[in-house]
Amino acid sequence: MKHGVLLIVCGLLGFALCAAGAERRPFPQHTRYAAGTLKPNAVSQAQLDQSVVEFYRLWKAKYLRTAGPDQLYIFCNAEQSFPARTVSVSEGHGYGMLATVLMAGADPKAQADFDALFRYFRAHPALHHPGLMAWRQLSKGQSDEDHESATDGDLDIALALLMADAQWGSGEINYRAAALKTIAAIRAAECDLQRHTLTLGSWVDPENRCWGGFRPSDFMPAHLKAFAAASGDPVWTQIADTTYRILGEVTAAFSPATGLAPDFVACTADAYRPAPSGYLEGPHDGAFFYNACRVPWRVGTDALLTGDRRSRSLLAPLNAWVEHATGGDPGKINAGYRLNGAPLREDRSAAFNGSLTIAAMIGGPDRQPWLNALWTDLTARRLADDDYFGNTIKLLTMIAASGNWWQPGE
């Protein structure tokens, strides 16, 4: 059956052939997730896989762009949702590297595309930390601010490199060595090793007012566990443990009825709380908005891959609240809420629905109808319904929801 699905997948993409034998973990992977987790079951596994491949084809055609003869990048400004001249951000670059390595086997160009994305990453280093990526690339020129790094993109790039080593082995490009270099650079420039937390990026230091604070959506516990296994460094386990504790305390204190995490957590005298308005990006920095919407996906992935009970505890209130608040209709999920559950504005985004789909997978058997409704809603959304951010989170969460995410080293 798995081979039959693979042939269907190749035909859908219009590929002449699948590079049989080149990948060690080809799509469809059909990962055995942790006990007690769900998958959408209103359609067959073959249909789940088919939906992923069809959307990947559309996403790749729209957002994967050429930069010179041997580099590729993810064009984040196709819908002009970023300031003029912005062409790429490190966050999107990490997403692209994850997508290509996960879709290898269905896409015979995956390794070549991944390598070209890697070369673009290497060609756009953070100014003072060459193992990291500058957070934004412009069509002409870069400011000093653009040369700083953002933690989330670097975390995804590092994990994608570990996955590439597991997928293809290290040959012309030593993926494992590159991953370990990036992991070491994240440790040196994007971690608060005294508190055992991640920081917002290489631009934050103890003199910065944002020191001690972090972006909850940067908390990717399964990534950190992979880094610990690959590097042998216990600091990644310590960061995972500390951040689980802090997020549990913040949501218990400030959003006990909803389980909603804020876009940013601020730290004052080692006391953590939702960031005030204008902390970094705007008036909704302390709300569940376009950063925090990724938390259910990031934390939920840890539950799927490792079965960590802390992820279930953190997401249980959110799962119960969002299904009740929408009356079981995913079409009523808003793109942003105050921590008490009040909608910020009338708007929708696949980034929110996709991430909440992953959370529903760990909600227990009673959540199966809700999960099926979320999947149906997510796959019904057209590429034109969302921008780069919504479409890219949609793709990655569809890969995970269909059972095709996996952990390097396992």
275 domain-assigned = yes
408 domain-assigned = no
User: Residue 147's pLDDT is what?
Assistant: 87
Paired strand residues for 138: 86
Active site residue 323: no
70 domain-assigned = yes
Q: Report yes or no: 22 and 168 within 8 Å, Cβ to Cβ.
A: yes
Active site residue 152: yes
Q: Report yes or no: 213 and 265 within 8 Å, Cβ to Cβ.
A: yes
407 domain-assigned = no
User: Residue 363's pLDDT is what?
Assistant: 86
Sign of CA dihedral 321, 324, 325, 331: positive
Paired strand residues for 73: 65
Domain range for 112 is 2-401
CA dist 381 to 171, 187, 302, 333, 386, Å?
A: 39, 38, 26, 13, 8
CA 192 to chain centre: 21
**Greatest CA span in the chain, whole angstroms?**
60
Q: Report yes or no: 136 and 89 within 8 Å, Cβ to Cβ.
A: yes
User: Residue 345's pLDDT is what?
Assistant: 83
Number of structural domains (the chain) is 1
Q: Report yes or no: 367 and 326 within 8 Å, Cβ to Cβ.
A: no
Instruction: Please report the DSSP string for 19-71 in residue order.
Output: -TTT-SSPSP----PPTT-----SS-HHHHHHHHHHHHHHHHHHHEEE-SSS-
CA dist 361 to 71, 98, 377, Å?
A: 36, 21, 15
- Please give the single-letter amino acid code of residue 393: I
**Going residue by residue through the chain (410 aa), what tens digit of pLDDT does each one get?**
333 444 334 444 433 334 444 899 999 999 999 999 999 999 999 999 999 999 999 999 999 999 988 999 999 999 999 998 999 999 999 999 999 999 999 999 999 999 999 999 999 999 889 999 999 999 887 666 678 999 999 999 999 999 999 999 999 999 999 999 999 999 999 999 999 999 999 999 999 999 999 999 999 999 999 999 999 999 999 999 999 999 999 999 999 999 999 999 999 888 999 999 999 999 999 999 999 999 999 999 999 999 999 999 999 999 999 999 999 999 999 999 999 999 998 899 999 999 999 999 998 899 999 999 999 999 999 999 999 999 999 999 999 999 999 999 88
Q: Which DSSP category does 378 fall into?
A: H
237 domain-assigned = yes
60 domain-assigned = yes
Select from 226, 243, 238 the least CA-distant residue to 182: 226
Q: What is the pTM of this model?
A: 0.94
Catalytic residue selected from 91, 156, 263, 387? 91
User: Residue 143's pLDDT is what?
Assistant: 66
Instruction: Please report the DSSP string for 259-302 in residue order.
Output: -PPPS-EEEETTEEEEPPTTSSSSTTTTSB-TTGGGHHHHHHHH
| d(C-alpha 211, C-alpha 209), whole Å | 6
User: Residue 1's pLDDT is what?
Assistant: 39
Using alpha carbons only, give the angle 403, 394, 376 rounded to the nearest 5 degrees.
Answer: 70
User: Residue 47's pLDDT is what?
Assistant: 98
Q: Report yes or no: 47 and 40 within 8 Å, Cβ to Cβ.
A: no
35 domain-assigned = yes
CA 335 to chain centre: 17
410 domain-assigned = no
| d(C-alpha 55, C-alpha 61), whole Å | 10
- Three-state SS letters, 385-399: HCCHHHHHHHHHHHH
Catalytic residue selected from 113, 148, 152, 387? 152
- Please give the single-letter amino acid code of residue 345: R
For residue 7 the two structure tokens come to 């042939």
User: Residue 355's pLDDT is what?
Assistant: 98
Select from 306, 216, 281 the least CA-distant residue to 31: 306
- Please give the single-letter amino acid code of residue 135: W
Paired strand residues for 125: 133
Q: Report yes or no: 117 and 88 within 8 Å, Cβ to Cβ.
A: no
Select from 202, 182, 59, 195 the least CA-distant residue to 121: 182
CATH number for the domain that contains residue 388: 1.50.10.10
Select from 168, 212, 221 the least CA-distant residue to 193: 212
**What 3-state class would DSSP assign to 332?**
helix
Q: Report yes or no: 325 and 331 within 8 Å, Cβ to Cβ.
A: no
Paired strand residues for 272: 267
